[in-house]
Amino acid sequence: MTWQPALGEEWIVLPLLTLLACTAIIIVRMRSLFAAVMLTGAYSLLGASWMLLLDAPDVAFTEASVGAGLSTVLMLGTLALTGREAKAPRQRPLVPLLLVALTGAALVYGTLDMPFYGDPGAPVQRYPSPSYLERMPGEFDVPNAVTAVLASYRGYDTLGETTVIFTAGIGVLLLLRGRPKRNESADAASRKRDRA
């Protein structure tokens, strides 16, 4: 048995995926970085809606808040520091196009071997998720299986992820801090020059 969409669900899924593809193509063809950033936000929001249709509210939630919300703001902050227009490409990008087409074809070829969405015989459905779902009611009074898996069964993974986020924060602070000090010394240098 394969995945049976709920009645009429394809009328939501098809336009959604079409919109996703259109947004991606428009972003690629766009020279204005400001509009491109806003469109990547829209892309994330569409992606979040699609994940919600796949019954993954936790993932959709993350995608909507991080992809559509935070990263858009961070990209806008970066644009304020750099520029709003992309430079026009100097030559026709034939080799990259060939490379992308080849990679895309290889990926599509790879999906042919994948089990259908929602296939109960798929490896991911057979191990280990049923064992989690079977063990959970006895070990937890937490109804959300996703939380139980993330925070307890796979607690080490989540600890690692939190450490990654922490390290990313430290890295950004190290890279972007120290700027005011240099400004101060630059100000002092310019004041010295003014006096001279």
Question: Footprint of another protein on this chain (CB under 8 A)?
Answer: 57-58, 61-62, 65-66, 69-70, 73-74, 77-78, 80-82, 139-144, 146-148, 150-152, 155-156, 158-159, 162-163, 165-166, 168-170, 172-173, 176-177, 179, 183
| Residue located via tokens 């559509």 | 68
3-state secondary structure of 131: helix
Query: Minimal distance in Å, beta carbon 145 to another protein?
Result: 10
**Which of 138, 136, 161 shows the shortest CA–CA distance to 147?**
136
Of 36 and 148, the one with the shorter C-beta distance to another protein is 148
Spatial contact of 151 and 158, defined as CB atoms under 8 Å apart: yes
- Of 74, 55, 77, give the one whose Cα is nearest residue 65: 74
* Shortest separation between residue 180's beta carbon and another protein, angstroms: 8
Q: Minimum distance from CB of 71 to another protein (Å)?
A: 10
User: CB 143 → another protein: shortest distance, Å?
Assistant: 6
Residues 138/148, Cβ–Cβ less than 8 Å? no
Judge contact between 45 and 64, C-beta under 8 A: yes
Residue number, 46 or 63, with CB nearest to another protein: 63
